[in-house]
Amino acid sequence: MFPASILTVVAVVVALAPLPSAARDAVGPESTSVNRAISRDRLHRHVQVLAGDIGERNAWRPQSLRRAEEYIRSVWTEQGHNVAAHAYTINNETWTNLEIVFPGTGLASQIVLVGAHYDSVQGGPGANDNATGVAAVLELGRCLAGHKPRRTIKLVAFVNEEPPNFWTRDMGSDVYARAARARDDDIRAMLSIETIGYYSDTPGSQHYPPFLGWFYPDRANFIAFISNLSSRALLRRAVTAFRGASDFPLESLAAPAFVPGVGWSDQLSFWFAGYPAIMVTDTALYRYPWYHTAQDTPDKIDYDRFTAVTQGLCGAISALADADEL
C-alpha cells in the first residue's frame, strides 16, 4: 500500500468512525410496522442444513449447490412468498439467483435490496461464510411478512460469489446488478449480508488492515457496516437505522475498495453497476480463525448474538424502506 493510500484510509476513518454520540441520540424508534421476533432456533436450523447437512456447495459441487438453492426456495415458499428464479449459464451449467419481493406503497419504484451469497469456498462447509448471511436473509422474509413498506424491498440469495467466480462477471450478484442497471432499476440501497455469526469478548480478538486498529476496538464483539467512498451517505443512514432498532455494538467504515476486505463480497457488484451498497459483516478473516477452512462449521457460531444482529437488521431495513429520504 502506498503512503498516499494510507493517508486516504486514515482520513476516511477519522471522518466516519465512530459516529458521534449525538448521532446515536438522534435516532428515532424502531418501526412499529415490524414486530416479529427473529427465531434463534430457525437461524440455527438454516445454518445446520446449509453447512452441516449439505456442506460444501460451489461450482465444484454443483449438486450440493442446487440442494442449497432448493432449500432456500422451500423456506421462502413455506413463508408464503412467491420465489422468482433468475437463471444464467456459465460453460453450459445453469446457476440461479433467487428473489422475493415486498412491493412498495408510496415509493414503489425505489428499491431497498438485501442479499447474501449461498455458495461456499472450495474445501469448506461455509457455516459463517456464508450460511449465516443466508439464514439471516431467509428469516428476514419471515420478519418482514405483512409489512407494507413505502419502498420496495427485495431479498436475494446470490449464487457464485466464491472462487472461481469471485470478482468476475460470472458472480451471481454481478449478473443481477448488470441486469438491474440495464432495466434502470432505482436501487437506493443494497445491503450485502456477509459472514455475521462469530463474536468474542476476548481482548485482542479483533484484527484489522494496517492502521485501522488505531481507531477501532480490539474485541470482536461488534457488527460492522462497511462501504466504499461513494456509498457514504447510505452508510450513515444504515448505521442510524440499525442503532434505532438495536443496541447491539456497531462500528462503521467507508474506505476505498482496494483496502483489503472492503470489496470482498456482493456489494462490489453493485458498486461496479453504480449503485450505493454496503457490507454487513463480523469482519470475517479479521476475527474468525476458521475463515475459508474445513473447520467453518455450525458449532462455531454465536447464535445468541447472531440472532440479535438479525433482529436489528429487520428493523433497520424496515426503517430504510420507510424513510422520508434515501
Which CATH number characterizes residue 261's domain?
Answer: 3.40.630.10
Rounded to 5°, the CA angle 204-207-209 comes to: 150
- Per-residue pLDDT at 321: 98
Q: pLDDT tens digits for 192-226?
A: 999 999 999 999 999 999 889 999 999 999 999 99
Mean pLDDT across 174-187: 98
**CB-count burial class (<10 Å; 0-12, 13-18, 19+) for 156:** buried
Q: Is residue 209 part of a domain?
A: yes
Number of domains in the chain: 1
Q: Is residue 238 part of a domain?
A: yes
Contacts of 316 (CB under 8 A, 6+ apart): 238, 241, 242, 244, 245, 246
Q: Is residue 82 part of a domain?
A: yes
d(CA 239, CA 219): 20
**What is the pTM (predicted TM-score) of this model?**
0.91
Residue span of the structural domain in which 194 resides: 3-19+29-322
Return the higher-pLDDT residue of 14 and 86: 86
- Per-residue pLDDT at 34: 58
Q: Is residue 66 part of a domain?
A: yes
- Per-residue pLDDT at 166: 87
Q: Is residue 202 part of a domain?
A: yes
- Per-residue pLDDT at 257: 87
Grid coordinates representing 274 are 453504480
- Per-residue pLDDT at 4: 38
d(CA 17, CA 236): 10
- Per-residue pLDDT at 22: 34
Is the predicted pLDDT of residue 24 greater than 70, yes or no? no
Q: Where are the beta strands (DSSP E) in 118-209?
A: 151-158, 186-194
Q: Is residue 278 part of a domain?
A: yes
Q: Is residue 24 part of a domain?
A: no
Is the predicted pLDDT of residue 298 greater than 70, yes or no? yes
To the nearest whole number, what is the mean pLDDT of the chain? 91
Mean pLDDT across 82-100: 96
Is the predicted pLDDT of residue 157 greater than 60, yes or no? yes
Mean pLDDT across 135-148: 96
Is the predicted pLDDT of residue 57 greater than 50, yes or no? yes
Confidence grade of residue 7 (pLDDT, cut at 50, 70, 90): very low
Is the predicted pLDDT of residue 9 greater than 80, yes or no? no
Is the predicted pLDDT of residue 6 greater than 60, yes or no? no
For the chain, give the percent of residues with pLDDT over 70: 89
Task: Report the phi/psi class of residue 301: left, alpha or beta, with left for phi > 0 and alpha for psi in -120 to 50.
Answer: beta
Is the predicted pLDDT of residue 40 greater than 50, yes or no? yes
